[in-house]
């Protein structure tokens, strides 16, 4: 079965792909868990760093800046700096990813056979995973991820094509670990 997928990635698709790429190790560790939003985590870390620096500053004032409070303030400042840096890098990476997906040629083919599933772009790039090599399949907000058990390949397929693939899998009795 070949599915012609000729639409551009939507904003939701791009968001899913970005979150999957950022949290890929967590996903392989426990695919049943919901992926955390990387931006929410980064903002939480930033707020925690600000609160921590404020608290250690107040403690420093109350203890007349003894050695322990100076060390605590220094560590808090370093953690705050790392949080800011992580948020900046995350935003830049997201912007670059979005620009990259908007420039891509939307034409692609999803090929599903009894032996494998593959996505082929018109620029001749093709990612193919045998059914026996699939570690798990997970449904996200707007996409479905097909992940190899060797952690080297993944296919991200728009959710609107998943019903056709799932029907094919049912007809051919293809069993794979599946997570929502």
Q: How confident is the model at residue 39 (pLDDT cuts 50, 70, 90)?
A: very high
Residue 53 within a domain? yes
CATH number (domain holding residue 140): 2.30.29.30
Bridge partners of 178?
137
pLDDT of 29 above 70:
yes
* pLDDT value of residue 10: 81
Contact between 117 and 146 (Cβ < 8 Å): yes
Q: Could you tell me how far CA 68 lies from the centroid of its own chain?
A: 39
**What pLDDT, on a 0 to 100 scale, did the predictor assign at position 73?**
93
pTM for the structure as a whole: 0.80
DSSP string covering the chain, please? -EEEE-SPPPHHHHHHHHHHHHTHHHHHH-TTSPPPPHHHHHHHHHHHHHHHHHHHHHHHHHTTS-HHHHHHHHHHHHHHHHHHHHHHHHHHHHHHHHHHHHHS---EEEEE-SSEEEEEETTS-EEEEEGGGEEEEEE-SSEEEEEETTSS-EEEEEGGGHHHHHHHHHHTT----EE-
What pLDDT, on a 0 to 100 scale, did the predictor assign at position 122?
A: 67
Residues 84 and 133 in one domain: no
Q: Do 88 and 113 share a domain, yes or no?
A: no
Number of structural domains, the chain? 2
User: What local confidence, expressed as pLDDT, does residue 120 receive?
Assistant: 86
Range of the domain at 55: 38-102
What is the DSSP pairing of strand 134-139 with strand 126-130?
unpaired
- Give pLDDT tens digits for 95-130: 998 888 777 766 788 889 999 998 887 666 788 899
- Give the N- to C-terminal CA distance of the chain in Å, as an integer: 24
């Amino acid at each position: 079965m070949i599915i012609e997928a000729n639409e551009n990635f939507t904003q939701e698709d791009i968001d899913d792909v970005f979150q999957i790429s950022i949290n890929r190790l967590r996903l392989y560790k426990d695919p049943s868990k919901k992926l955390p939003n990387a931006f929410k985590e980064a903002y939480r870390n930033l707020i925690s760093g600000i609160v921590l620096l404020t608290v250690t500053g107040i403690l420093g004032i109350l203890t007349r800046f003894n050695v322990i409070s100076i060390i605590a303030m220094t560590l808090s400042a370093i953690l705050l700096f790392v949080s800011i840096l992580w948020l900046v890098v995350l935003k830049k990476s997201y912007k670059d990813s979005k620009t990259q997906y908007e420039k891509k040629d939307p034409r692609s083919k999803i090929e599903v056979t009894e032996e494998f599933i593959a996505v082929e772009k018109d620029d001749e790039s093709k990612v193919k995973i045998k059914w026996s090599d699939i570690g798990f399949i997970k449904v996200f907000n707007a996409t479905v991820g097909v992940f190899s058990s060797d952690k080297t390949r993944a296919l991200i397929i728009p959710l609107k094509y998943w019903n056709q693939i799932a029907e094919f899998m049912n007809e051919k009795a293809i069993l794979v670990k599946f997570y929502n």
